[in-house]
Amino acid sequence: MRYPKNMNEEGTKGKKPKHTFLSRFQTLFSNMTRKPVFKRTLAIFFVILALYALFNTFFQSYDSSAFDSATFPFNAASASSILLATGKSTVPAVKVYLYDLPRRFTYGVIHHHSLARGSRVDENDLSSLKYPGHQHMAEWYLFSDLARPDTERAGSPVVRVLDPDEADLFFVPFFSSLSLIVNPVRPPGSGSEKTAYVDEENQEALVEWLKRQKYWQRSKGRDHVIVASDPNAMYRVIDRVKNSVLLVSDFGRLRPDQGSLVKDVIVPYSHRIKTYTGDVGIDKRDTLLFFMGNRYRKEGGKIRDTLFQILETENDVIIKHGAQSRESRRAASQGMHTSKFCLHPAGDTPSACRLFDAIVSLCVPVIVSDSIELPFEDTIDYRKIAVFVETAPAIEPGYLVSILRGITPDRILEYQNELKEVKRYFEYDEPDGTVNEIWRQVSKKLPLIKLMVNREKRLFAKEADCSCICTNQTAIITL
């Protein structure tokens, strides 16, 4: 369990100045309390604080939610009046309920994953059940985050509530991506039947379980959050959970009515190579363009193959075939840390883990994937950190390298500096990293969720009825 360990390390580091300051403050304080005059000062100070609390009660509430009433004296109204003067405003923190799912959907999946790999672990000893590292770990990090005690969750954009009646949103912690890879790819009859685990059965069982929950019934699942970061995760039951906020890597395998930028959240892959900890610069980055990965893919395969052909003859370009393994991850780390640009062609679906490996390597991504969706794009302007090249010209011989050779060292440094700025959004391990940003993105869906839930309850119309936002000004939607 790397996450809690790192969290503590980072957390302590982050709080150090606070402790230093506090101890200095305490010294100052104890010196002062020796003098009788300070007791009086203290008393007056607290009287003023108390008066301030009283004072707040005279303000009217500027709370955005209509029926909530703030009971704490330092309430939303007073806070917003203060904060507006500084250009900030307060909103009630979004309340999330973590479903206590039957074990089969969480630790049970880890258990079966271990069993299928020959480990003999005790199903009831949770600490022995380590979630294995792979590229779709959002489900683990979000679950671990909500499961932590509140004291360790300070700074999170969402508050966990233990009473589902108080919740704005419901988190369903099914390990859907791990479930997909429980059974390793191996020849039939070689022992995989021992695990007796069938992903599709578990998906079906989850939907049956959800359908029995009153909070699911109440909103038809609209206020539920489900992680399906592997593009194939949840595929069997996707039509039955498509009302929910889905946390996905892209919409490559989803129809527009199953997933959309409006309803869902694009989450980053968990990067699989080591973060580059050095500074910006191109001195140690001799390779112009680096790519390592599978040359042949199910879809988009032709483009990859063509890119291989036109790039492998270039001197300062490293492009090589490689499958997932510890060995090739080490080679990829080495390559990405010593290259100026990292190629990101479409994988089986428009997204791939490689983009996030490149970002944490400060290797400027060169994205050749026309219909890619990118995480947190309201917050991150990807043109500042990546080069986008349209597929059609990119597969013309010479075009890609000529563009990249035309980018000045100063411009590369600009890209690298921006990469450094946004890197934390792609670090699931960091205290204010990917996990918090995912919660922030999920929180932003809440107004539309509430609107849809309220509206659906009073609607009579039975026809399909979609609200959209479109990129193309001349688009006309036919329903």
Report 155-184 residues binding its own copies (CB under 8 A): 155-157, 159
| Minimum gap (Å) between residue 409 Cβ and its own copies | 23
- Residue 432 contacts its own copies per CB under 8 A: yes
Among residue numbers 94 through 153, which ones bind its own copies (CB under 8 A)?
95
The H or E element that residue 404 is part of is helix 399-405
Among residue numbers 41 through 70, which ones bind its own copies (CB under 8 A)?
41, 44-45, 48, 51, 54-55, 58-62, 64-67, 70
| Minimum gap (Å) between residue 76 Cβ and its own copies | 5
- Residue 40 contacts its own copies per CB under 8 A: yes
Among residue numbers 215 through 244, which ones bind its own copies (CB under 8 A)?
220, 239, 242-243
The residues, ordered by sequence, that sit 6+ positions from 182 with a Cβ below 8 Å of its Cβ are: 109, 112, 113, 116, 195, 197, 199
Query: Cβ–Cβ contacts within 10 Å for residue 162, how many?
Result: 10
Choose, by CB under 8 A, the member of 12, 25, 117, 124 that binds its own copies: 25
* Nearest alpha-carbon partner for 258 in 273, 236, 279, 278: 236
Q: How many residues bind its own copies (CB under 8 A)?
A: 116
For residues 186 and 220, which CB has a smaller minimum distance to its own copies in the complex?
220
The residues, ordered by sequence, that sit 6+ positions from 227 with a Cβ below 8 Å of its Cβ are: 138, 139, 142, 172, 173, 174, 176, 177, 233, 246, 247, 267
Stretch that binds its own copies, among 37-45, 120-128, 184-192, 358-366 (CB under 8 A): 37-45
| Helix residue ranges, H only, 34-75 | 36-56
- Residue 452 contacts its own copies per CB under 8 A: yes
Among residue numbers 262 through 321, which ones bind its own copies (CB under 8 A)?
262-263
| Minimum gap (Å) between residue 162 Cβ and its own copies | 13
- Residue 30 contacts its own copies per CB under 8 A: no
Stretch that binds its own copies, among 133-141, 186-194, 256-264, 352-360 (CB under 8 A): 256-264
Residue with tokens 């013309």: 396
The residues, ordered by sequence, that sit 6+ positions from 374 with a Cβ below 8 Å of its Cβ are: 266, 380, 382
Residues 145 and 17: their CA atoms lie apart, in Å, by 24
Stretch that binds its own copies, among 130-138, 180-188, 198-206, 457-465 (CB under 8 A): 457-465
Residues 359 and 357: their CA atoms lie apart, in Å, by 6
The H or E element that residue 170 is part of is strand 169-172
Beta strand 317-321 pairing with 265-266: unpaired
Among residue numbers 347 through 406, which ones bind its own copies (CB under 8 A)?
370-371, 374, 377-383, 388, 390-391
- Residue 93 contacts its own copies per CB under 8 A: yes
| Minimum gap (Å) between residue 294 Cβ and its own copies | 24
Query: Cβ–Cβ contacts within 10 Å for residue 30, how many?
Result: 9
